[in-house]
A = this chain, B = another copy of it.
Amino acid sequence: MSVQTILLDFSVDPARLGDECGQRAVFDQLETVLKDYIPNLVLSADVKIDGGSLKLLVGKKGTSVSTRLFDQGLVTVNIEYYKEENEAPLMDYKSAQVLENQLKKYLSVTKSQSYIPLKRCLFGRYYPSSDNRLLEYDIDEVLFDEQSPFQRVQVVHSKSLGNMLVLDDLQNIAEADLIYTETLMGRGVENYEGKEIIILGGGDGALLYELLKEKPKYVWMLEIDELVMKVSNKYLSTICGDVLEKRKGKNYEIIVEDCMLTLNKFMKEGRKLDYIFGDLTDIPISESACGELWEFMITILESAFKILKPSGKFMTHANGANCPESLKMYEEELLKLKPPVKFTKSKAFVPSFLEEWWFYQISFNTTDLGDA
């Protein structure tokens, strides 16, 4: 079962909506056409609103039609009704377009637009891009949905992406996302053979699984959320193999705790690593580089560089290519780090994000060190 919401937008000469008489004329035209498409439509409310007016019509099977006129010459029509899963829609995209074209002619509008009907109350079809655009995914099943002590953990199935892990309502990784892991680790560029590596986060197991194929000396994965690993092991085994099932092998182990504990322990022991992966939260999108998330990220970076070998690298995903401000802020923060660091970056289109994503490879700026 779902609620279907069909939206139509129009723009008309604002002069036509200038007074009540003009508004009534436009509304009458709207109503005349709408009545042809939605049976038994009757006016249920007529409200004068600051900056315009709103009329509510109600028709067959409880279909509500809200029509709003804005003084600036904009008109919105919202049609909403309940639909059982196997019931034919009262109005699909094709008929919404026919209605749009009919209204376009009848109202002599300057611009018009109809939207693909929104399938509401299905919970799990709509996700944001990094720059806050609305994207409808081809989700046909919600496989898992529970709150862990740390976050909301969901697994949904997408027709094109396979199973997809969703953390706090954000698409995280899908079975189709090998390119994400390979770009994060710089496969073919970096050499992991015989290397000691830490993964901060990485609860979906995909990075650990791919790194182990490159014959590292040892990998520690530090993940705080047991539930993420449990469901990834169950639903994402095509991308994480058996590493979450086994938790420990001859050259790896997963430590389930706050990653700062192990980082601090390694620091005290004077241990030095070849690679540290930041596979935690994305870099934040905010007006300035402050707040809890930025502080957390900078703390992690500072700690990581205390236990990296001089030749070591910190590898991390950053944010969408459509968020240049956020990426610039991140780079500015990197350049403030002591000791100084330098970075390279790489970009890939990530299937489950439906957008290009930037990844950073950060290392000690030895040129600067030499100068000091």
Contact = CB atoms under 8 A, between A and B. Distances in A.
B64 A58 contact: no
A80 B9 CA distance: 13
Interface in A49-95: 49-52, 54, 56, 58, 61-62, 64, 66, 68, 70, 72, 74, 76, 78, 80, 82, 92-93
A133 B121 contact: no
A266 interface: no
Given A9-B123, A45-B56, A356-B160, A72 B321 contact: no
A241 to B, nearest CB: 25
A37 interface: no
A16 interface: no
A120 B72 CA distance: 13
A120 B10 CA distance: 9
A5 B115 CA distance: 13
Interface stretch (A26-34, A124-132, A191-199, A361-369): A124-132
B56 A62 contact: no
Nearest to A320: B160
B56 A3 contact: no
A198 to B, nearest CB: 32
B51 A54 contact: no
Given A7-B118, A134-B115, A58 B62 contact: no
State the majority secondary structure of interface residues on A: strand
Contacts of A143: none
Interface in A98-149: 111-113, 115-116, 118, 120-121, 123-124, 126, 128-129, 131-138, 145
Nearest to A128: B116
A264 interface: no
Contacts of A128: 93, 116
Given A70-B82, A134-B136, 20 more contacts: A3-B9, A3-B68, A52-B82, A54-B56, A56-B66, A64-B66, A72-B82, A74-B82, A74-B121, A97-B169, A111-B123, A113-B169, A116-B128, A116-B132, A133-B138, A135-B136, A135-B354, A160-B321, A160-B355, A354-B354
14 contacts: A3-B74, A3-B76, A5-B76, A5-B78, A10-B121, A49-B58, A50-B62, A64-B68, A74-B121, A76-B120, A97-B169, A118-B134, A159-B322, A160-B321
